Homo-oligomer: A and B are copies of this chain.
Amino acid sequence: MTRNIERMRTRLQSLGLALRPHVKTCKNIDIARQLTAGQPGGVTVSTLAEADYFFENGITDILYAVGIAPGKLAAVADRMARGMALRIILDHPQTATAVARAAREFDTRFRVLVEIDADGERAGLRADAPELIEIASILDAAGCHVDGVMVHAGGSYHCPDADSMQQMAETERASAVAAAERLRQAGHAAPVVSVGSTPTATFARDLTGATEVRAGVHVFQDLVQAGLGVCEIDDIAISVLTEVIGHRSEDGRLLVDAGWMALSRDRGTADQPIDQGYGLICSEDGEALDDIIVTGTNQEHGIVGRRDGSPLNLDTFPVGTRLRVLPNHACATAGQHDGYWIVGSPDQARRWLPRCRGW
């Protein structure tokens, strides 16, 4: 984990950019402190529960990077009144109108980034959309801060190679910068140009005009990132410890006591060249057993077999053998647990790091 954090820090330093880590992956303050060391100190969150948890632990500069729901504006105003420097995002004039109404109702000058779309994957306005200026005007008239733009190119998760990943990073950057320029030409300060995802942050060659990069899953990495070429299998810093509870002699598979409750149902590698099932099996000390994966899950059962379906030699995995499972998607698997046991560093053995959860 420390190596992953260092690598991203070095990378962004070479691009001259600050990291605003997305702490939805780790949801833990000790790890967030390691991520923000030597950085401006702000973080990105995906829920107000995360915002509260990190604020209680001393982080004040928080970007809530999911389009704000009007029903949450009272909660946002409350947190700002208590000193949280909380920024929200939105991409629709209806939301801007709701924010303007709430600004008057709660006497709050909300701090807003307009979400920009680079790839049609999820949310955001295209950089040339007329609504961009309409939204900024609505917010400005209500005394809110139009602080700039935010973009997330989720399309980076479908890029087959480094070239297309670099191109996606450039599309992400160019969209955000163009949108910010339009806001500035319309008289808004728009100091913030927030870009990123772990894949684009890893592959970007130039991020001129951006002011901060968001990345989060790089802290642990996972099989999806390895499949994208963002990391190696050996960089994956999170696993689920499990134990063999039975043998399926009819098809040469093992039963283990980690099912989808422990691993999550994420099948993020299903569409990648190497399908890792519900996770790749390692020995207890963390050595990957290459083609042995979790082929199926129930709530508390996992079925483990070879990727090609050929039978395992069950004698080498007696009942009681402990194994580790590397996850497809670190955010999803970590989300199934209340915290982390630190292993691999003698002085930190069995140290427990809790996670926040909920909304």
Partner-B contacts on A (CB < 8 A): 24, 46-47, 66-72, 90-92, 94-95, 98, 120, 122-123, 154, 243-248, 250, 255, 257, 260-262, 264-267, 298-301, 303, 318-320, 322, 331-332, 335-338, 357-359
Please give, as numbers and ranges, the residues of chain B lying within 8 Å of A255 by CB-CB distance. Answer: 67, 122-123
Q: Establish whether residues B332 and A265, one from each chain, have CB atoms under 8 Å apart when the complex forms.
A: yes
Please give, as numbers and ranges, the residues of chain B lying within 8 Å of A266 by CB-CB distance. Answer: 260, 265
Which residue in B91, B246, B250 is a CB contact (below 8 Å) of A246?
B91
When all copies of this chain in the complex are counted, the total is: 2
Q: Establish whether residues B246 and A67, one from each chain, have CB atoms under 8 Å apart when the complex forms.
A: yes
State A154–B247 Cα separation when bound (angstroms): 17
Which residue in B24, B70, B91, B337 is a CB contact (below 8 Å) of A243?
B70
State A62–B14 Cα separation when bound (angstroms): 59
Q: Establish whether residues A123 and B301, one from each chain, have CB atoms under 8 Å apart when the complex forms.
A: yes
Q: Establish whether residues A319 and B70, one from each chain, have CB atoms under 8 Å apart when the complex forms.
A: yes
State A358–B352 Cα separation when bound (angstroms): 14
State A247–B91 Cα separation when bound (angstroms): 9
Q: Establish whether residues B122 and A298, one from each chain, have CB atoms under 8 Å apart when the complex forms.
A: yes
Q: Shortest distance in angstroms between A178's beta carbon and chain B's nearest beta carbon?
A: 18
State A303–B39 Cα separation when bound (angstroms): 34
If A67-B246, A255-B123, A257-B66 touch, whether A358 touches B338 (CB-CB below 8 Å) is yes
If A243-B69, A246-B91, A357-B338 touch, whether A46 touches B299 (CB-CB below 8 Å) is yes
State A72–B257 Cα separation when bound (angstroms): 11
If A92-B319, A95-B319, A358-B338 touch, whether A301 touches B68 (CB-CB below 8 Å) is no
Q: Establish whether residues B265 and A71, one from each chain, have CB atoms under 8 Å apart when the complex forms.
A: no
Q: Shortest distance in angstroms between A59's beta carbon and chain B's nearest beta carbon?
A: 19
Q: Establish whether residues B66 and A320, one from each chain, have CB atoms under 8 Å apart when the complex forms.
A: no
If A245-B66, A265-B265 touch, whether A47 touches B300 (CB-CB below 8 Å) is yes
If A250-B120, A255-B122, A331-B299 touch, whether A70 touches B265 (CB-CB below 8 Å) is no
Q: Establish whether residues B66 and A318, one from each chain, have CB atoms under 8 Å apart when the complex forms.
A: no
Q: Establish whether residues A320 and B257, one from each chain, have CB atoms under 8 Å apart when the complex forms.
A: no
If A123-B255, A299-B24, A357-B338 touch, whether A92 touches B247 (CB-CB below 8 Å) is yes
